[in-house]
Structure formats: structure tokens, C-alpha cells
Chains A and B, each alone.
Chain A
Amino acid sequence: MLEIKNLSFAVSEADREKEIIHDLSLTIEDGKFVVITGPNGSGKSTLARLIMGIEKPISGRILFDGEDITELDITERAKRGISFAFQQPVRFKGIRVQDLLRLAAGKNLTVSAACAYLSEVGLCARDYIDREINASLSGGELKRIEIATLLARRTRLSVFDEPEAGIDLWSFQNLIRIFEKMRAEIKDSSIVIISHQERILKIADEIVVLSDGRITRRGRPADILPGLIGRAAPLSVCEKLQ
């Protein structure tokens, strides 16, 4: 269980502190699939980075399975069982896809096991396993490899920052199937997704709506979605253009 208590975060901007997250409290129960949504600049990605320890709060506490992890760094949180998929995955010269999957699994991974993770995300394993994670991979390919690293990690809490961005050509059904499979296979595992996508919002156990660093609404999709649909927040760029 993840408990966020009275969390605040600020950045320095032109000689003053600008608060991005204000006194935010949120509990994510075990086995839950929670989607955090809200307009651009509402603090969604910042909240995800605070959970992973990439950003440090100015006040408030974060508890994971009852342990206060506020002062723990990224590595220690990762070892406790939190994983994070970046909105913009990082490129590495020389590190191959199989190397990253092996590091994610934290053990020697057979080629066939690594291939299985790639197949899950719709990549032909044979073509990718030896590829370097460098500029030769497209944004969409990187994004899928990023998701595969979380599959390999098998942690109790997985945080995805806009996983759907850049994978338009791959079906949402597959992405959703992956999330459902993760829940089924890892006991008591929770998934937190930052997303605007209506199709992802629809399958959530709970939707949390952020605005200006505060939770404005939270509840089941049936209760929350009617108020969101038709507004800008949950729509993709294409949908907005239509």
C-alpha cells in the first residue's frame, strides 16, 4: 500500500518558490489500478516522480507498506519494490535491449525470457534483443522497451508516466492487456498510471483528477468520466482536433 500524506513540492523560479504540489494526500491500496489525470501542468508527472524519489518534497511523508520512504533515495525505493516507466525513455550508447532487461530483472536473464518480455510489448524479439538503446530506435520502440523493463522487474508498485504517448500504431488493447496481466501475475501489485487517454481511464479501479497540484476529484470511472469527457483533459491531440 502506498500512502501519500500532506505532500508539497516546489521549484525555484526567478527568485521565488513556485509550489507545484500542494498538501496532497492519497492512498493507493494493494491490488488497485489507479489512473491520475488532469490538465497539462497540473502536477501529474511531478507526483509520479515524487513517488519514485526522483524529486524530493518540501514537506509531507510517503509510506510504502507502512514504511516511511520519504528519505529513501531512488535506488532504495526501487529495491523496496517500486518501479517507474519514464514518459520520455532514456537512450544509452552501447547498452543493448537485452542488457537493460537483464538489469531490470536483477538477475541473469535467458535470451528466451528476455524475448518473452519483448513479445509482450509487441516487438519482434529477434530484431530487437541485440539492438543498442540509442538514437537508432524510434520514440515508440523506446516506449515499448521501457514498458518491457517494468514487466521484467515485477514489482509491487509500478508507476507509468503517460505510457500511451508515442505508441499510437500499437493497439491500446495490448497495452491494457499488459496492465491486466501485471495485476494478475504479481500478487497484491498496484499500478499507477499518469494518462489523458479515455480508454485507459475507463479500465481504472479509480480515477484521481489533479488540478494545480491538488486532487479535485477521485472515484470510480463511472462516476468521474462523465464529468471529464468532452473536456480537454482526457483527450488526445487527435481527438481534440476532431
Chain B
Amino acid sequence: MVQLDAIQKRLISEIADLHSVPEGAYNFRANSRLAGRNTTANIDIVSKDDGSGIDVRIRPGTKNESVHIPVVISETGIKETVYNDFYIGEDSDVVIVAGCGIDNCGGKDSEHDGVHRFFVGRGAKVKYVEKHYGSGDGRGKRILNPVTECYMDEDSSMEMEMEQIKGVDSTERATRAELKSGARLVVKERLMTHGVQNAVSSYQVDLNGAGATADVVSRSVARDDSTQTFNARITGNAPCSGHTECDSIIMDRGRILAIPSLEANDVDAMLVHEAAIGKIAGDQLIKLRTLGLTEAEAEEQIINGFLR
């Protein structure tokens, strides 16, 4: 049974929209310890022999099932690296919800580095949702450095939603994907930084088979004195199509560096990148103010919509 205190429950609801124990398979990790696990007939979760993480195995043909693997840290000074591997069977159709919430009220840094590897079988469909959240008013930093690797077999598809809206002081995200023919990857990243936070997000997507497609879209907001770097590269090694887009709102004294890049190694690779950085448009603020919103309320609505 899952044993969580009030802070941990609040973190779980922030990162996974969970208010009680979920249906289906799950693995809860709290303060570096296993806090609860459930497996199903089709989804097995086992700890790695060396204790460094878990293996999640999804049987071929598993449909409409979900796996939740939230991590919460509520003690100060925890620093951990966890290796989680997902083996997703052929022709399955599953939702995987990961995420990490850190509440740090103490003076020491708390850090969770999750290394997730996905081996997506032929024809399988995966939706992966990852939310990161930090809270607590201690001097210790809240640090999250996720690494995500996707190895996608023929005709598989993966949709990734990655969101980090609040409270994480420092993050360095690295996402790599290799796609075989007919595979499809869609990434939707939402990022907001404030205070003196720093976020780096990099993508390397290799389209290795004919008909592989990738769409990597990042929307971010940098407020106060925060800084962000977005570095996305799509490499086309076959007749394929790839698109990357980085769209950012900059506020206050925030700084953003966007480096979208493309590499075509096949004459039939069709690759597109777009990047735009700018402050909130004045006419957007005016329009919402004519509806009776104050300037601050208008800004909030614009940012909420942008990061939807």
C-alpha cells in the first residue's frame, strides 16, 4: 500500500493530477525509497538487481492501460540518479505518466536525475506525460536533470508531453530519439522559469528509416532574471520529415538562447525549423484590458494560454 504524507500527496497531485491511488500499474518513489507498487497481468514492474531503478515491461498487444511512476522528494539534501527502462511490446497502446515533485524547505540542495529509456516495439503507441514541480522556501536548490532516450521500432508512435512550470531552480534536460521507418515522434514541451532559475533543454532526434516523422515543439516563458537554452537538432538519414519549433515569451530581465538545427543526410529528407522569441505583444494586452482585465491579469491569461 502507498504510504505518503500530506506534502508528498500535494506533490503527487501537482505532477500527476492524482488524488488517490491510480488504476493499473504504478510505482511510487518517495525520498529515495519505494512507497508503493502495483503490477497488472500485462504490465510488470521489477527493481533492477543493483537497485538503481526499475524495468517496466509491457506485453505485446496491451491496450488502453496506464503506468504511473511518480517520484516525490520532501527531505532536504537528497541527491539521486534513477535509471528506468520501459520495454513496450509490439502493437500495444499505453499511457505512461512520470514526473517528479520536490519540496525543499531545508538548506541543502535536493536533486533527482531520472534517466528514462523507452524501447518502443513495432506498431506500438505510447503517450508519455512528464511533469516537474518544485516548492518549499528553503535555501537548498531543487534540481532536476532528466535524460530521456527513445528507441522506436518500425511504425511505432510516441507522443511526449513534458511540462515544468514552477519551482525548479535548475534543470538540464536531454532528450534523444532514434526512429526506424514509419515511426512517428511528437514532442510538446512547456517550460516556465522565474527568479534566477536556469533551464537547458536539448533534443537530438535521428530519423533513420523511410517515412519516419518527428515534430518537436517547445513553448517557454522566461521571467524575472531566469535563463533558458533550447537546443534542438533533427537529423534526417532517410526519406523522412521533421519539424522543430521553439516559441518563447521573454519578460523582465529573462534571457533565452534558441538553437534549432537541422542535418539532412538524404536528398529526400524534408526538415523545417522555426524559432521565435519576443515579449508579450502590446496589442494582446490592450485587447484583454478592453475586456476589463488589469495589465497583470491580461499577462497571466496570455501566459496560461501560451503554455497550455
- A29 CB to nearest chain B CB (Å): 23
Counting chain B residues whose Cβ lies within 8 A of the other chain, the interface size class is 20 to 34
Judge whether B284 and A94 touch: CB under 8 Å.
Answer: no
Whether A78 lies near B291 (C-beta < 8 A) is yes
Pick from B281, B290, B294, B295: contact of A83, CB under 8 Å: B290
A79 — which chain B residues lie within 8 A by C-beta? 292
CB of B29 closer than 8 Å to a CB of A: no
Q: Which of B281, B287, B293 has the most CB of A within 10 A?
A: B287
A78-B289, A86-B287, A90-B284 are known contacts. Are A95 and B294 too (CB-CB below 8 A)? Answer: no
- Asked if B290 and A52 make an inter-chain contact with CB atoms under 8 angstroms apart, the answer reads yes
Kindly list chain A residues whose C-beta atoms are within 8 Å of the C-beta of B305: 92-96, 99, 132
Residue A84, interface by CB 8 Å: yes
A52 to B305, CA, bound (A): 25
Contact indicator A92/B291 (Cβ below 8 Å)? no
Q: In the complex, what distance in Å separates the CA atom of A83 from the CA atom of B219? A: 31
Q: Are B306 and A74 in contact (CB under 8 A)?
A: no
Q: Is B291 in contact with A103, judged by CB distance below 8 angstroms?
A: yes
Q: Say yes or no: A78 contacts B292, CB within 8 Å.
A: yes
Q: Is chain A's interface secondary structure helix, strand, loop, or mixed overall?
A: mixed
B5 within 8 A of A: no
Which of A92, A95, A106 meets B292, CB within 8 Å? Answer: A106
Q: Could you tell me which residues of chain B, from 122 to 180, have a CB within 8 Å of some CB in chain A?
A: none
In angstroms, Cα B117 to Cα A86, docked, is 50
- Cβ-defined contact, A153 with B291, below 8 A: yes
In whole angstroms, what is the CA distance A47 to B59 when docked? 68
**Contact present for B290 and A78 (CB under 8 Å):** yes
* 25 residue pairs from A and B, CB less than 8 Å apart: A73-B289, A74-B286, A74-B290, A75-B292, A78-B289, A78-B290, A84-B290, A86-B283, A89-B287, A90-B281, A90-B283, A90-B287, A92-B302, A92-B305, A93-B247, A94-B219, A94-B305, A94-B307, A94-B308, A95-B302, A96-B305, A99-B301, A100-B291, A106-B292, A132-B305
Chain B positions within 8 Å of A, measured between CB atoms, are 219, 247, 281, 283-284, 286-295, 301-302, 304-308
